[in-house]
């Protein structure tokens, strides 16, 4: 689902185009009240956080090293994960399932060689390109951020959330592949890979 969210498709395009250089590191946050439907760490990972785990693979490739810590307190989940991916990208993820997060929250911060990009709450993507020049940056107006947002309008009704979270994009892509015989962007093979990474994360917790 997350692969088809407009904010992450835009972030993926920036990564693939290489305009900010190669990816160096990332920080990911996902927080939600999972207490009504998750009884333990494994259920939380595979019913809630799995979408963010799959997003990691979509953006950065395959993980070659995983280390995690967790605090087990009934249904309350607090996980901190460190990862290294096959292209030398290092990252950290903070996943939490607590009743405190009645307002679901997510963000992804990616640091490149020549800038950074922040995907915040599926609503705003901020792209910063580092400026090079003879003058110190505080002497002039050299800093520049590009900000991408959806339009704010009441006419979207309840549809905006379905588009921005990737539900509509996912279904449109699937139907297009069915009609044209095109190989889909994500497949059962991807699902196996994502589930395997979920298991690696769970087994790494100390």
Mean pLDDT by 10 residues, the chain (206 residues): 95 95 97 93 94 96 95 87 95 94 94 96 94 73 88 77 92 94 88 95 91
The pLDDT value recorded for residue 58 is 95
DSSP annotation of 186 reads S
Which residue, among 82, 31, 26, 95, has the nearest Cα to 58 in the 3D structure? 26
3-class DSSP assignment, residue 34: coil
Distance CA 53, CA 93 (A): 9
DSSP state of 155: G
Residue 89 · residue 24 · CB < 8 Å: yes
pLDDT of residue 177: 94
Q: What is the pTM of this model?
A: 0.90
Give the Cα separation of 32 and 100 in Å (integer).
8
- For 150, the 3-state DSSP assignment is coil
pLDDT of residue 140: 75
Phi, psi of 193 (to 5 degrees): -65, -40
- CB burial of 139-172 (b: ≥16 within 10 Å; e: otherwise) equals eeeeeeeeeeeeeeeeeeeeebeebbbbebbbee
Domain 2-204: give its CATH superfamily: Dihydrodipicolinate Reductase; domain 2 (3.30.360.10)
- pLDDT for residue 166: 93
Q: Which residues contact 35 (CB under 8 A, 6 or more apart)?
A: 75, 76, 97, 98, 99
The per-residue pLDDT for 77 is 92
Domain range list for the chain: 2-204
């Amino acid at each position: 689902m997350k692969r088809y969210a407009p904010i992450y498709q835009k972030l993926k395009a920036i990564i693939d185009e290489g305009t900010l250089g190669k990816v160096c590191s990332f920080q990911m946050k996902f927080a939600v009240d999972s207490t009504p439907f998750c009884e333990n760490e494994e259920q939380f990972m595979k019913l809630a956080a799995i979408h963010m785990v799959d997003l990691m693979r979509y953006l950065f490739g395959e993980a070659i090293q995983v280390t995690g810590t967790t605090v087990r307190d009934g249904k309350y989940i607090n996980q901190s994960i460190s990862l290294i991916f096959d292209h030398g990208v290092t990252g950290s993820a903070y996943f939490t399932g607590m009743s405190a997060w009645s307002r679901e929250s997510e963000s992804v911060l990616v640091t490149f060689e020549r800038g950074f990009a922040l995907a915040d709450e599926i609503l705003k993507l901020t792209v910063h390109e580092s400026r090079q020049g003879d003058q110190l940056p505080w002497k002039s107006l050299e800093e520049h951020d590009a900000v991408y947002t959806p339009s704010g309008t009441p006419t979207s009704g309840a549809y905006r959330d379905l588009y921005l979270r990737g539900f509509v994009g996912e279904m449109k892509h699937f139907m297009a592949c069915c009609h044209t015989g095109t190989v889909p962007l994500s497949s059962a093979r991807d699902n196996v890979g994502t589930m395997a990474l979920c298991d690696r994360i769970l087994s790494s917790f100390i």
